[in-house]
Amino acid sequence: MTKKLLFILLASSGFTFAQNSCAEAVAITAGQHIVEAVNGSEIPLPICADNGEGATAGEWFTYTPTANYFITITTDLAINNSRDTRFHVYTGSCGAFACFNGDDDSGSNYTSVASFNVTAGTTYYIAFDNRWSSGGFTFELTENEPVVSLFTFASTPLPVPGGFRDCVVDMNGDFLDDIVVVNDESVSIMYQQANGTFTTATLPTPDANFLPTWSIAAGDIDRNGKTDLLYGSGNGVTFMIQNNEGTGFTESSGPDYVFSQRSNFSDLNNDGHLDAFVCHDVEPNVYYINDGEGNLDFFQGGMGDFPSGGNYGSIFVDYDNDGDSDLFIAKCRGGNSGAKIDELHRNDGNGIFTNVSEAAGMAEPSQSWSSAWADFDNDGWMDAMIGVSSFADGGHKLRKNNGNGTFTDITEGSGFETLTSTSIEYVAHDFDNDGWVDVLCNNNTIMRNNGDMTFTKHIINANSGPIGDLNNDGRLDILNGTNVYSNISNNNNYLVVHVQGVQSNRNGLGARVEIYGAWGKQIRDVRSGEGFRYMNSMNVHFGLGTATEIEKVIIRWPSGNVDQIENPAINAPLFVLEGSSPLSNNEIASNQVMLYPNPASDVIYLNTGTGAEASVKVYDLTGKVVLSGKTLNSSLNVASLATGQYMLLIEDTNARQSVKKLIKK
């Protein structure tokens, strides 16, 4: 008690010089501690919390627990008057740190909160920076009994260079999740290899007018097989378009003011080309319509029109099972403003969206920055978890989809009513591969789905960040700061589905993937943009628990095409090219294409039936292009292909397409 009091007196008297560098870090124990100002000479590095570089000063502490504890570090205290803070937690030693934890905005009103297990005798460095404010504040460290979780993540530091590390997505068309780091004039991509290792390339970009300070989204705008990026900032939007060779980007930044929050790619008018949607904080939402040539035209209004905005977390989800992607907007605004009423917009087709919030039972104030949507009870309908960033208008909500366009609030007894922490980031994924979709919150928390619409809180050693399979083992991992947290929770079985649209948009965004087995049915929607800030993998992950076989997989494409695959292998990727396994004889466009012989040994002959020259791409079952060429009712040499099954995408000069199967003997 005397030691704590002495520290407070010293800090409040301005004697904070000992905190100004790592070497002079002040040792603390549990309790409240005062930081007079963030003016130390050493900037905390590496960055372990959200929102990238920009700090110019830091304040340093050390904490060495005397026993194993579950601790919480927080600035979400009334005394701080909503001071905007950010902190990083390290292990190691000065100059040789590894990120252990950290937080920016998990507390209310931009305060910081993080909770995690610590080990007796290990020294943890706690560093606050002035990314947002240099003003003084009080923080609190509390100790509790360690928490045992069903989820285990192994931390591995990666040499991720600078910038914004908010994106995990396939960038080169091989369906392996890559790590994307955005800087002013470059994009560094850590390309994942089949063995789970990475090779890094830094691709030049024009000096970005706007950086992804608020959100990032990814998708193939121009259908060239290379992933493009959308940067959302507090002032505008930048599109970075990757060239055909994957060696660089061109920039497109309009003059329009957009206070960007969540951003998404989706085919809004179902013409087969990806459009973009951006939540606007202080005005009606904006969207960008793709003209089919990769050019994006700006529009505002018609998809969330409240004059003062309040739009934070958008997500596209087919809630009514009619085959097109609807839009839910998590809203946040203080006071009595209508800008805080959540909105559900039904997709009526051809780019028309209708606000059905009231009729659906979704028009409530939640003070939410994001929502997590999934079929939590595996009944074939998408349910919603609305997570809050403040309890000013009530707590977290769990809503069951009734299958008739309405939702029922089933929060009471679900476990979410007892979740006392807040967050801006909520996403739904099956992290333990048991066949039931969980919810990842910030504050090192996973709400585990018990399979009966109840959830149990589990503390993990990883905080929120972009999600993907970062070691190609079929389990979903988390990138946080400069660490990859590899999921080693269990050995449950899984299936990963890779989709590629032909008539639909190339990424297959908006497609509904269904798997059937002894468990019944599981569903997923292919999305770009979940939660609030991050861009997660567009690959579709299913957990199977201990099940050892899958009866069938059905993909319902935005175009209306349906593919069905019988008895796919488990614990492996499944690549599905639109039209490759049609449920009916509904061929795409040039349905008169003839392919012979099939099976083939050395040469195949193609006849398009149109008299036009056609380009041919041959895909293996992982989605990799293994052969390409052109034909005018002539032959293609396939002798170089290994024995097995392949899919051919054939496109004539009139842009008519067909998909054919090939068996190579």
Q: Do strands 164-169 and 113-118 pair parallel, antiparallel, or not at all (unpaired)? A: unpaired
Q: What percent of the chain has pLDDT over 90?
A: 72
Q: Residue written as tokens 């970009």?
A: 205
φ, ψ for residue 100, nearest 5 deg: -115, -35
- Kind of pairing, strands 26-28 and 58-63? parallel
Residues 142, 72 contacting (CB under 8 angstroms): yes
**Residue of 251, 226, 220 lying closest to 236 (CA atoms):** 251
In the chain, how many H helices and how many E strands? 2, 51
Alpha-carbon span 578 to 454, nearest angstrom:
36
Specify the residue for token string 């390309």. Answer: 191
Q: 294: phi > 0 → left, psi -120 to 50 → alpha, else beta; which?
A: left
Amino acid at 527: R
At 511-551, the pLDDT tens digits run 999 999 999 999 999 999 999 999 999 999 999 999 999 99
pLDDT tens, residue by residue, 283-330: 999 999 999 988 999 999 999 999 999 999 999 999 999 999 999 999
DSSP state of 462: -
Q: What is the mean pLDDT of the chain?
A: 90
pTM for this structure?
A: 0.81
Question: For the segment 25-71, what is each residue's pLDDT rounded down to a tens digit?
Answer: 999 999 999 999 999 999 999 888 878 789 999 999 999 999 999 99
Q: What is the pLDDT of residue 158?
A: 80
Binning pLDDT at 50, 70 and 90, where does residue 655 land?
low
pLDDT bin (cut points 50, 70, 90) of residue 591 is low
Tens digits of per-residue pLDDT, 107-124?
888 899 988 889 999 999
Query: Distance (Å, rounded) from C-alpha 115 to C-alpha 440?
Result: 14
More confident residue, 239 or 82: 239
Residue with tokens 């959200």: 50
> What average pLDDT does this structure show over 600-613?
78
Question: How many of the other CB atoms lie within 10 Å of CB of 404?
Answer: 9
DSSP string, 5-57: HHHHHHHHTT--GGGSSSTTPEEE-SEEEEEEE--BSS---S--SSS-S----
- Average pLDDT of the residues in 87-99: 93
Q: What is the 3-state secondary structure (H, E, C) of 131-155?
A: CCCCEEEEEEEEEECCCCCCCCEEE
Cα–Cα distance for residue pair 435/427, rounded to 1 Å: 16
Which of these, 466, 486, 461, 465, lies nearest to 475 by C-alpha position? 486
Q: What whole-number percentage of the chain has pLDDT above 70?
A: 93
Please give the backbone phi and psi of residue 342, each rounded to the nearest 5 degrees, phi first. Answer: -60, 150
